[in-house]
């Protein structure tokens, strides 16, 4: 069985609060991705890709990975 990563929006909200990140463009700068990428991931239009994930790990530390992302089996992933 394969799985995908989905953003844990509640976990991200907590980390943003703790890091003092109020705006999506600040998050984009912090994780070194384009603001449109952040927008697409936050709205669910795109899954977090390797650059988004790596940027989060680099910016917030590997310990935050399980706060930021949830592993979802493919059979539970909603169809786009």
pLDDT at 22: 97
* Gap between the Cα atoms of 57 and 74, Å rounded: 23
CB 7 within 8 A of CB 38: no
pLDDT of 77 reads 53
d(CA 32, CA 62): 16
Render pLDDT for 11-54 as a digit per residue (tens, 0 to 9).
999 999 999 999 999 999 999 999 999 999 999 999 999 999 99
Give the closest residue to 34 by CA, choosing from 22, 49, 13: 49
Partners of 6 in the β-ladder: 70
In the chain, what are the domain boundaries? Answer: 3-67
Q: Is the pLDDT at 79 greater than 90, yes or no?
A: no
**CATH of 3-67 given 3.40.50, 1.10.287, 1.10.10, 1.10.260:** 1.10.260
Please answer whether residues 76 and 14 qualify as being in contact, where contact means their C-beta atoms are separated by less than 8 angstroms.
no
pLDDT of residue 3: 83
Residue 80 is predicted with a pLDDT of: 52
């Amino acid at each position: 069985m394969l799985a995908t990563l989905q953003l844990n929006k509640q976990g991200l909200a907590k980390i943003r609060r703790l890091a003092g990140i109020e705006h999506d463009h600040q998050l984009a700068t912090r994780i070194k991705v384009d603001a449109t990428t952040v927008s697409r991931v936050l709205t669910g239009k795109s899954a977090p890709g390797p650059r988004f994930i790596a940027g989060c790990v680099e910016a917030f530390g590997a310990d935050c990975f399980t706060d930021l992302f949830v592993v979802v089996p493919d059979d539970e992933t909603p169809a786009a």
